[in-house]
Amino acid sequence: MTEIQKRVLGKNGLEVSILGLGCMGMSFAYGQPKDKSEMIGLIRTAVERGITFFDTAEVYGPFTNEELVGEALKPLRKDVVIATKFGFKIDPTGKKRWTGVNSRPEHIREVAEASLSRLKTEVIDLFYQHRVDPDVPIEDVAGTVKDLIREGKVLHFGLSEAGADTIRKAHEEQPVTALQSEYSLWWREPENEILPLLEELGIGFVPFSPLGRGFLTGKMDASTKFDANDFRSTLPRFTPEALQANQSLVKLIEELAKNKNVTPAQIALGWLLAQKPWIVPIPGTTNLHRLEENLGAAVVSFSAGELKEIDQATQNINIVGSRYPEALQKMAQK
């Protein structure tokens, strides 16, 4: 197994590789699900390359992604950290993936038991609330996870896309190990309020979509087409107009990459890693070449002057298009 740098999330010593692997796209969201045996092979290769941190959720599929991750990592369980999530109301008819949120204590317990079974494990290393449930006090959510931790079924508590007040209240009830939210060179909103709060409380940060759902790699333009079952086809930022308007950011990243003799993806990930020592991005991929490319970001370095220049350059770029359609946008930052 290759040794790569490690980072610690939270105050309770959850040590993980400097980059994790987001597994969602292996089962859904970006077109047809990938071949299961190939993805098992990719996950196991990721472990060989030094990745110890794997991200999944019951709603990815639903259920199929947890099953994939569980099967892939069962022989390697002692070497890895598995994060999964609760909080969605899965549609029993199968017509939709989910029909709303549900973080009632009894539901959290049901999800924990089902996830343990699908993941073929005796403990969930990091259990995130996937989205805040406005109908359930966050103290009740945190208290339920605290009980699961006492029972030995969960090791660490996490939140996803939560706002500052929610994070603070949850942390008072049960220390939060990590927040998972979107953060990248084209979504920097967490810098305003969230990052300072996480630093104050000693909470780790796990950025999802660190490559802007593929946009920051420089492989997309206004002519890029998405399948009907590709999640990006529903996102305002991936309309032809937005893809064209946002090329100025890609050009900046490509210029930085050329100067450092690395790839745009490595610049985008390296920039995130340079922001704080307790940030661990989880880029997703279904391709071994991209996995290895992403790992190369761990050795990309920036001087303080370079980071300042990037900040100044990006301040002059107006990003076009919201992250999500309105209904999904309302679920973030509660």
Active site residues: 60
Strands 88-90 and 98-101: antiparallel
Radius of gyration of the chain (CA): 19
Q: Which residues contact 137 (CB under 8 A, 6 or more apart)?
A: none
Dist. CA 49–CA 203, nearest whole Å: 26
Dist. CA 131–CA 99, nearest whole Å: 13
> Strands, DSSP E only, in the chain?
6-9, 14-17, 21-22, 53-55, 81-86, 88-90, 98-101, 124-129, 154-160, 176-182, 204-208
**Which whole-number Å values give the CA distances from 299 to 5, 74, 127, 262, 295, in the listed order?**
9, 30, 29, 10, 8
Q: What letter would DSSP give residue 330?
A: T
